[in-house]
Chain A
């Protein structure tokens, strides 16, 4: 590995770059899916390769390849430099980077049971057991899935960084779809998007408790068919933590990405309403809203030891006591705004250049018991598990739908309701947050499918959340 990296950096330097870094990644993945009592698919894949990122003539270039030979390493390094020099033809100013501490380190993932040491038969058996429990009359589609990955990444830079980093991810989730011929309703566990993900070994699968919840969600899917529609109008809502996690993702995570803010994602992902003039001067939420970007969060898939620029994992506040106070940034963007680089540059794999990504964006827990949150509502809805999402490209106007809801009347949970939706303007919504569940309900949810960048990069991020109560929210849209 060291040979590849030295060769790549040497060739890049020969062509007169002012900066170069190299990432070599070797990743193995396994994905198992079941459907209606049978195995639907098992994918076993491995991928390795390297990517070289350079600054030449004051502009960025990146190239990558799956062929790990001396000849190809030279070709790719030279191509990265050629690409950078072409970029320079349109440059307005030279790329400059914030100074950072340089590390040499090796970090192994703390895993109890290597998921690749567990026989596939055992994994299939758990999923099919859960499938059986969901096999109720009225359920037309039962799905289960597990995903495991293990990778070693070596990062080195022309500044002397040399990092060897291991990463292990485990996932499990189930869902049931019910129909009565007219309506179709879905329930998922522990959340939608394939369930929950953590940086743990196979021990995580037992913690997820699929079997303990399989019958319940299938039964709820059936009950939803005859449930009454969610009411419409302005009312109070409580979001369960996995839905609140997605709310954080869309309305706080994305708009605090500094590349979006500076217009660098305008071509695809969009821009942001949290413009630099608002930093430290904008009331994002109520006083109880504290949102952190915490790459040090244990087991969180948005966490890591070092980011893809070699910055050691940090925890910073994005929103403190309701004030907007921080951005997710890179060495380049932090330099532009004279901010501390906080380490949010991540690449999907060896064949992508890193871009600013969410780490673990967490809403810190509050002090309320669930019963207290409910008892404070005269007329409202409790909503759980995301079903649909929509938000404008500046991350202001959003609308979410959840799989299930329960009416709240006079401080008590009442009937189940179907097709709950709510919508609002980001800062108005968070300013109306007047209760956050305590740490007993707090959970960091792994979200594996955050899409951003061109070429598209799908990133593993995570979000910690408890219950959240929001006042005077527009509820209901589905006709």
Chain B
């Protein structure tokens, strides 16, 4: 890993080489390791040491940017030169006012030494436990054990100077049987929070319950979505609707609906980069502190996330949700959390007379962005629920559903939540949704 001093030195050097009215430098990266397993053994095992320096230079309202992963003086000077050239070639961006300005912000760090100390042998030991149990049960274990050690430094000519380091450990198991599959994943900044036994228990349990699935007719069903499945829904919502860019472009269903009650009383969804319920991040890629942003409060549409550019354009303040600029996906909510309910997962299932329990969705894609209609397949666990109990495994189906409709049809939420992480994190409960639409069935 680079040291904090090395990162600060490169950032200061980058800004000092620039002749721009304003200059911003971001250095981010670190080490990343992934142990992949399939067919009950490790088949892929990789490591990476990579950092990227991203520069933005502004002349008045003209902005240029360039990035590089060579931090020699010559390479940095050339990259600054490219950013300057690009800025000078640009037309003025009327929305641009300034890069981020300094603010009072306490330092926060989320680097856990225990996670950083995980060796290839230790990763193999975790994986071996899953593979051994899977073999014992006559099943086939697949999955990954990921250790990420990340650092980010942001410095600009206006006085912003931020640094944070972060660790993430994530253990995933996908268990295949002859006619079924099961899934489990746990993620935390601290590797000690991950229980290999509970990952084994859940993934093998679902695979064993799923043997010899029956076919049911596509149509409308009451469903219980596990947090794995529901997070896929919320992930689609985040890029289709919960950011200022989607509102500005008119593709978000929130456009024109702020202040209106468009979802049920039980729907409260927000973004909070510092919550203990998420994989945290104290500031964004412009160095702005993460603010808590409430998207829906008891069903009322409240707000979306902003970076500096979209904030200035809309007379708002940045909420600290910029991605490395320029980006057609920025601003972006990175720490979405949904308020849970009072019930346990089992209590929710016990309330369903006839429905389906969905353990996981996969390959969800937008079909009609404005109406927030998405499509996707079930995977790794679909079960019939009858008279309050999971009774039979079911063959996989495709859903076609509007996120708005589904959230409006959400009638119960669990206390228990899970955090799902893939560059950004989503923390959601089990939910019970009525009239959920499945449009076709597949052969397995």
Chain A interface (Cβ within 8 Å of chain B)? 33, 38-49, 59-67, 72, 76, 79-80, 82-87, 89-92, 119-121, 124, 140-141, 177, 179, 183-184, 262-268, 270-271, 273, 351-353, 355, 387-394, 396-397, 399, 401, 419, 421, 423, 425, 454-455, 477-479
Minimal Cβ-Cβ distance residue in A for B251: A184
Cross-interface CB contact of A266 among B86, B174, B370, B442, cutoff 8 Å: B174
Contact partners of A263 in chain B: CB under 8 A: 38-39, 140, 142, 176
Pair A60/B43 contact, Cβ less than 8 Å: yes
B363 lies within 8 A of A393 (CB): yes
Nearest A residue to B82 via CB reads A44
The answer on a CB contact under 8 Å between A86 and B44 is: no
Q: How far, in whole Å, are A38 and B61 apart by their CA atoms in the complex?
A: 13
0/1 string, B405-430, CB within 8 A of A gives 1: 00000000000000000000000000
A-B CB contact pairs (8 Å), 6 listed: A65-B48, A86-B119, A120-B89, A391-B377, A392-B379, A423-B440
Q: Is B391 part of the binding interface, using a Cβ–Cβ cutoff of 8 Å?
A: no
**Cβ of B172 and Cβ of A62 under 8 Å apart?**
no
Q: How far is the CB of B404 from chain A (nearest CB, A)?
A: 13
Interface residue B107 (Cβ < 8 Å from any Cβ of A): no
Q: Quick one: which of B33-68 are within 8 Å of A by CB?
A: 33-52, 64-68
> CB of B398 within 8 A of chain A?
yes
The 5 A-B residue pairs with the shortest CB-CB distance, nearest first, are A41-B326, A86-B120, A397-B442, A63-B47, A65-B49
Give chain B nearest CB distance to A462 CB in angstroms: 21
Query: Nearest B residue to A141 by beta-carbon distance?
Result: B249
- The answer to whether B403 has its CB under 8 Å from any CB of chain A is no
Which residues of chain A are within 8 angstroms of B250 by Cβ–Cβ distance? 140-141, 177, 179, 184
B residues adjacent to A (C-beta < 8 A): 32-52, 64-70, 79, 82-83, 86, 89-91, 93, 119-121, 123-125, 127-128, 131, 140, 142-144, 146, 172, 174, 176, 181, 249-251, 325-328, 362-363, 365-370, 373, 375-377, 379, 396, 398, 400, 437, 439-444
Given contacts A38-B91, A47-B69, A86-B45, 9 further A-B contacts (CB under 8 A): A47-B52, A79-B47, A89-B125, A267-B142, A388-B375, A392-B396, A396-B442, A396-B443, A479-B400
Query: How distant is B235 from chain A, measured CB to nearest CB, in Å?
Result: 14
Q: Is the CB of A63 within 8 A of B48?
A: yes
The interface residues of chain B lying within 8 Å CB-to-CB of A396 are 442-444
Q: Judging by beta carbons under 8 Å apart, are B42 and A86 in contact?
A: yes
A421 to B181, CA, bound (A): 29
Cβ-closest chain A residue relative to B79: A46
Q: For residue A464, give the distance in angstroms from its CB to the closest CB of chain B.
A: 24
Q: Are B67 and A84 in contact (CB under 8 A)?
A: no
Inter-chain contacts of A478 with B (CB < 8 A): 367-368, 373, 400
Determine whether the beta carbon of A267 is less than 8 Å from that of B249. no
Among candidates A33, A45, A421, A455, residue contacting B68 with C-beta atoms closer than 8 Å: A45
Chain B residues, CB < 8 A from A454:
34, 36, 44, 144
> Do A61 and B45 touch (CB < 8 A)?
yes
Instruction: Specify which of A48, A388, A389 lies most central, judged by the most chain B CB atoms within 10 Å of its CB.
Output: A388
CA distance A302 to B394 in the complex (A): 38
- The answer for the CA separation of A397 and B442 in the assembled complex, in Å, is 5
Q: How far is the CA of A421 from the CA of B368 in the complex (A)?
A: 12
Q: Are B47 and A397 in contact (CB under 8 A)?
A: no
Q: Which residues of B contact A271 (CB under 8 A)?
A: 176
Min CB distance A38 to B, Å, is 6
Tell me if A401 and B367 are in contact (CB < 8 A): yes
| CB closest chain-B residue, reference A72 | B49
CB distance from B228 to the nearest CB of A (A): 14
Closest to A350 in B: B50
User: Is there contact, CB below 8 Å, between B172 and A267?
Assistant: yes
Chain A residue contacts of B328, Cβ below 8 A: 33, 40-41
Please tell me if the beta carbons of A389 and B176 are within 8 angstroms of each other in the complex: no
Closest chain B CB from A392 CB (angstroms): 5
Taking a contact as CB atoms closer than 8 A, the residue among B44, B82, B127, B142 that contacts A60 in the complex is B44
Q: Which residues of B contact A266 (CB under 8 A)?
A: 38, 140, 142, 174, 176, 181
Cross-chain contact A86 with B124 (CB below 8 angstroms): yes
Number of A-B contacts (CB under 8 A): 245
Contact B82 A49 (CB under 8 A): no
Q: Which residue of B lies closest to A95 (CB)?
A: B43
Contact of B42 among A79, A90, A141 (CB under 8 A): A90
Residues of B within 8 A of A85 (CB): 120
Q: Is the CB–CB distance between A419 and B121 below 8 Å? A: no
A77 CB to nearest B CB, Å: 11
- Contact check, A390 vs B48: say whether CB atoms are below 8 A apart: no
A59-B86 Cα distance, complex, nearest whole Å = 47
**How close is A353's CB to chain B, nearest CB, in angstroms?**
5
Task: State which of B44, B69, B143, B326 has its C-beta within 8 Å of the C-beta of A49.
Answer: B69
For residue A92, which residues in chain B have a CB less than 8 angstroms away from its CB?
Answer: 39-41
Contact A352 B46 (CB under 8 A): yes
B34 cross-chain contacts in A, Cβ below 8 A:
454-455
CB contact under 8 A between A267 and B41, given known A46-B70, A63-B46: no
Known: A267-B36, A396-B443, A399-B439. A353 touches B42 (CB 8 A): no
Q: How far is the CB of B12 from chain A (nearest CB, A)?
A: 20
Complex Cα distance, B67 from A264, in Å, reads 34
* Identity of the chain A residue whose Cβ is nearest the Cβ of B67 in the assembled complex: A45
Question: How far is A62 from B48 in the complex, measured between Cα atoms in Å?
Answer: 9
A90 touches B124 (CB 8 A): yes
A140 contacts which chain B residues (CB < 8 A)?
249-250
Closest to B371 in A: A184
Given A38-B93, A64-B50, A389-B365: A44 in contact with B400 (beta carbons within 8 A): no
Q: Are A42 and B86 in contact (CB under 8 A)?
A: yes
Q: CB-nearest residue of chain A relative to B375?
A: A390
| Distance between A473 CB and nearest chain B CB, rounded to angstroms | 13
Distance of A41 Cα from B90 Cα, bound (Å): 9
The CA-CA distance from A82 to B444 in the complex, in Å, is 40
Q: How far is the CB of B191 from chain A (nearest CB, A)?
A: 16
Cβ-defined partner of B67 (8 Å) among A43, A119, A393: A43
- Residues from chain A with Cβ under 8 Å of B37 in the complex: 90, 267
Contact: B45 with A66, CB < 8 Å? no
Chain B hits for A397, CB < 8 A:
377, 398, 440-443
What separation, in Å, do the CA atoms of A120 and B83 have in the docked complex?
12
| B32, B43, B365, B444 interface centre (most CB from chain A within 10 Å) | B43
Note all chain A residues with C-beta closer than 8 A to B367.
Answer: 387-388, 401, 421, 478
Q: Which residues of chain A come closer than 8 Å to B48, judged between CB atoms? A: 63-65, 351, 455
State in angstroms the CA–CA spacing of A454 and B327 once bound together: 24
Chain A nearest Cβ from B393, distance in angstroms:
16
Is B86 a contact partner of A390 (Cβ separation < 8 A)?
A: no
Q: How far is the CA of A102 from the CA of B167 in the complex (A)?
A: 42
- Residues of A within 8 Å of B437, CB to CB, are 479
Are B38 and A264 neighbours in the complex by a CB distance under 8 Å?
yes
Which chain B residue shows the least CB distance to A145? B328
Query: How many angstroms between the C-alpha atoms of A84 and B327 in the bound complex?
Result: 37
Please, how many angstroms separate the alpha-carbon atoms of A62 and B120 in the complex? 11
CA distance A82 to B47 in the complex (A): 11
CB-CB under 8 A from B89, the residues of chain A are: 119-121, 124
